[in-house]
């Protein structure tokens, strides 16, 4: 099993900043220069990189996703979370970040966000540094 981060989400749809947890995994891995893969092994949650300075950015992303993919829209999937699956595919299940001198190379405003689309739940995020 790859190293993993646990994320406990509090609402149905939510973005959680996991940058410091991912950095911790990078530091523990003891690899100075390489690549960090962050992978979400769920079908109704994803991961993305975007602005972490202004929380309104995440609010806007989630509001627009809900507008594009409303919770109820005559879906065929009977579990009642078809929108969560679609949002996950739009956002994606993994991101890759360059590691230099044991640090994630992110832009000034960039943060790594776990994206919950069918919470609240206990989730896992896999991290591999190499």
CB of 14 to Zn ion, least distance (A): 18
111 - beta bridge partners?
A: 50
Nearer to Zn ion, 13 or 127 (CB): 13
109: DSSP letter = T
CB of 118 to Zn ion, least distance (A): 8
Nearer to Zn ion, 14 or 118 (CB): 118
Tokens 């960090």 found at: 36
Q: Which residues bind Zn ion (CB under 5 A)?
A: 79, 81
User: Exposed (0-12), middle (13-18) or buried (19+): which is 39, by Cβ within 10 Å?
Assistant: middle
CB of 99 to Zn ion, least distance (A): 34
Nearer to Zn ion, 21 or 81 (CB): 81
CB of 36 to Zn ion, least distance (A): 29
Q: Which residues contact 59 (CB under 8 A, 6 or more apart)?
A: none
Nearer to Zn ion, 33 or 79 (CB): 79
Q: Residue with CB nearest Zn ion?
A: 79
Determine the Cα–Cα distance for residues 129 and 3; give it in Å rounded to an integer.
9
């Amino acid at each position: 099993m790859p190293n993993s981060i646990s994320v406990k989400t509090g609402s149905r749809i939510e973005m959680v900043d996991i940058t410091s947890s991912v950095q911790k995994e990078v530091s523990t891995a003891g690899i100075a220069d390489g690549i960090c893969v962050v992978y979400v092994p769920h079908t109704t949650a994803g991961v993305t990189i975007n602005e972490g300075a202004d929380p309104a950015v995440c609010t806007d992303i989630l509001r627009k996703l809900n507008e594009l993919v409303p919770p109820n829209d005559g879906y065929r999937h009977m579990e009642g979370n078809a929108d969560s699956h679609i949002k996950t595919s739009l956002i994606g299940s993994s991101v890759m970040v360059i590691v230099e001198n044991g640090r994630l190379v992110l832009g000034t405003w960039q943060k790594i966000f776990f994206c919950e689309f069918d919470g609240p739940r206990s989730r896992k995020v896999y991290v591999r540094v190499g």
